[in-house]
Structure 1
Amino acid sequence: MLSIILQMYSSGNPTNIANPINDASFQFDIKTAGGRLTLYQTTLCERLGWDDLSANVNIDPQHYLDSYNVNDIQVICCQADASTMWLVPEVVKQQFIKSLNSSKMDIKFSWVLTRDRPKGKETVKYERSVDPSDLPKSTEVEGVLNGSLSSFRIHNICPRTFRVTGSGDVRPFEQEVNDVSADLVLHHRNSEWWSFHDIKPLRSYGCGALSGPMAVIVSEETPQGFLGETLSKFSIWGLYITFVLAVGRFIRLQCSDLRMRIPYENLPSCDRLIAICEDIYAARAEGELGVEEVLYWTLVKIYRSPHMLLEYTNPD
């Protein structure tokens, strides 16, 4: 079945075309029993292609990206300052501080990426909670919220390298060992806003002065055309499973209980065969299992021998 799907794919001759990231945004939330607050959010992110990077930049010293087309690799560099002010009423802030001391804290990050394809999955989101062992102390977060501290640090917030598949899934690299760690800073001036400062200097990644969230994205190519869009939506494995289920269902409907059927179509006369079948059921009903077995094997021998089958179904 898989070979049939692959043959369909190859015969349709869908051409893979680049499917780069057109837009990116990053969000950082903190959640307690008292609710969820968005601390940092930015949509001010630049997208740099492999060719736009300086020759001195080495974003892949372990050579994890060597197997990918350089045209599919982009570096997303975001500004450190949030693109929105932090407008949280004081009473809400105080209630949230109370919940920090009385419940567990959960910190989440999310990347939202937009591409042109596949249709229906142009926007994808990758969200994950920070491991509890890497969370800051609740007293540190409380200190920043009430103004006694200016920042708190979080380690291993998120992976730095992602792969966006042709079917629209976001997956971090399995070899990823260089997670992002950052300082979250709350500015108190005429207005309040958060900043996200990556601890590791990002100049080595080509981001220059942009010290906000950063990611290396491999956006895989997608096939074009009707067949290509279908494969992009379902993936070749999804299409394979669909065919297996559909064809399997059809075969089951057509072949169910075949072992209980005695083929008799297109035979001249089946009276003698029907009489043997009736005798089998009669012997079973009377408990004559020996007679039933003899009659059953007689029927089997008839169907195994074309000569005997013609003899027993001869209308004369």
Structure 2
Amino acid sequence: MLTDIFSYRYKNTPIWSVYSENERRLLTQAFGIVKEALPYYDESGKVDKRGEEKWKSLHDKLCRELGVTELSKRYYSYQQTTALGTHPVSGFFSWIHVCEQFVTAQVPGDINPDQFIKERLSFVELGLRLRGEEIARLNENLPHAIMEAKLSDSAPRRGMQIPGSSVDRVKSWNALANAAYNSQVNELNERFRRASVPLNYHNGFVQLSRDEVVESQVATPFWEIVSDPLWENVDIDMKEALDRRDSNSKDPALFAAKALESTIKIISDKKGWTHGKEKGAANYIDNLVSKANGQFLQVWEGDILKDYFRKVRNTVGHGPGSEPMPVLTLEQTDWAIEVAMSWVKSLVKRM
């Protein structure tokens, strides 16, 4: 099965020209974050079976994408001399050891440092993506867990019982798990910033970050909002927009407009304003502007949104015929993506 990894998405986008102490430190720190997010050992220091399976899965997925059989040497063999003589010793390193040797290795002289670093950050990306998926499932299951806790609290108590509410414990454990993961993501992004690397991790993917102010005021709140499963299609299209922009591929602004259009449609559907006769984004915007629907948007806001789709989406989304092929500059593309993010953030906050 194909796995989307950082090194493949950005293979044609140069980021590093050298591997220095700065890069070595960043990779070591990033690997430490993955170790914290996905513990390999239990509290007693023994291998946790579920943790071992996760690390093997990460190893195997990245191996397949890189076209190698192992990330670093797993089998070891040497001669050991004791008072009883010399005898062979052999075995296998743990999966976490193999992965750590891969991520923290020194770059060989004949390897492109850009490729080398990207492949190792791909492991970090996969590790945090796996933990993010676990957190998403945990949050999705929270209502069911709370219901079971309520039933437990209401059942007759026999024998020794842990004092306090089971519901409170479930909620507290969920909040702690989310807080720990958010802290790990924030630390990785701060490590990128301190290493002066123009990258940012959000919702399972490491992507280029061009402007620190835009990242903190627009992009970060946007990614937090669309991490909810309700906005999955918005998340997918916006990531596609950024990947296309960063790799200089065709029509990144079109995907930003698609993300914004999906947001408008979802809100119209969730509010019960969709009537089935809509033919495009403009009609869905009318649903949000309608006084009968409580005027979710003011008329002037609706006009601005419609103009965005006319000038951005329609311009690059339709064949030009015999006219010159429309192409947005990098600055115009950045503007189109940032405006779409800002609108999504604003619209969702009003729900």
TM bracket, shorter-chain basis: under 0.3
Q: Which has the higher strand share?
A: 1
Q: Which has the larger radius of gyration?
A: 1
**TM-score with structure 2 setting the length:** 0.18
